[in-house]
Amino acid sequence: MTGGAGFIGSNLVDALLRQGNEVVVLDNFSTGRMENLRSAVADPHFKLIVGDIRDERKCREAVSGVDYVLHQAALGSVPRSIDDPLTSWGVNVGGFANMVVAAKKAGVKRFVYASSSSVYGDDASPVKCEDRIGEPLSPYAASKRAQELFALNVSRVYGFETVGLRYFNVFGPRQTPNGPYAAVIPKFASMLIHHESPVINGDGSFSRDFTYVDNVVRANELAILTEQKEAVDTVYNIAYGERTTIGELYAALREELAKFDPEIAAVAPRYGSPRAGDIPHSLASIDRARKLLGYAPEFDAADGLHRAVLWYWENLKN
């Protein structure tokens, strides 16, 4: 696995180890944290390789003797890619290609990778379906689309099995609130815990298909396990399939955190300009994943927030 020290990756690592799998992680800790692997490093079935996916030698080392690759490594964030497009492209496209080629040469059975809902770009469809996308609105979105094209090309040219998972606004434990490119939910949670008013970009009407991390973990497991030929060499939306506005999200998060500290209920948000490259609305059709992978997400946004908020409270107070 690449990016195993990250938010999603480390949740995947823990799930795979609980099932008795041997897990090898390649991570350069540019965005991941060693703290996320605290329980994994004590497991004899776990191996950590510190390295960068832009280093072909490290990629070859990471896939040696491996049956499946779960590629989670990336430089995420639309704003980060706008500020520094070359680095985002180098990691997300060059590093991705390194891993795919290394895995193919090593005889890996299947390569499952994290794509993104950002590939839908300016597509105006109210519900996002895998076969209908628009033009990318950021270098990050373009890099994720490039990953999909490269993977599908390798599948067709070499017969190497790949599965792409388009994540929709994943959240949950271990997602960092720190830095200029922090995801909205942990950033809001941290500020609310400290009685600070978060900034909502826009008027709060923008909406997203917020997806609890356990749903994503299950999707990765299904992508590995499926034996249906038509289920591989394609891409899937991985979401809950329900739209939540940013305003609704803020209100729900504030209500959950106020159970720990009643003063949080009085913290009002501020409003700013929409971010460059952001799309107004994002709602996934998950029909393809249901049909071909047997994907049945267990947690909607409200359930996920209820489960995640304890971690936010215990970990973001200081």
Strands 244-245 and 207-208: antiparallel
**Residue 258, burial from CB neighbour count under 10 angstroms (0-12, 13-18, 19+):** middle
CA distances from 228 to 161, 222, 224 (A): 12, 11, 11
**Residue 41, burial from CB neighbour count under 10 angstroms (0-12, 13-18, 19+):** exposed
Round to whole Å and give the CA distance between 295 and 297: 6
Q: Which residue has the tokens 């300009």?
A: 273
Round to whole Å and give the CA distance between 203 and 149: 35
Task: Render the burial of 209-244: b for 16+ CB within 10 Å, e for the rest.
Answer: bbbbbbbbbbbbbbbbebeeeebbbbbbbbbbbbbb
Round to whole Å and give the CA distance between 169 and 282: 9
Say whether 140 is catalytic.
Answer: yes
Q: H-type helices in the chain, by residue range?
A: 7-18, 56-63, 78-83, 85-89, 96-105, 139-158, 184-193, 213-225, 246-258, 287-293, 301-315
Token duo for residue 245: 């506005």
Q: Which residue has the tokens 């997602």?
A: 175
Round to whole Å and give the CA distance between 297 and 214: 8
Catalytic residue, chosen from 68, 113, 120, 140, is 140
269, 250 Cβ separation under 8 angstroms: yes
The residues annotated with a catalytic role in the active site are 140
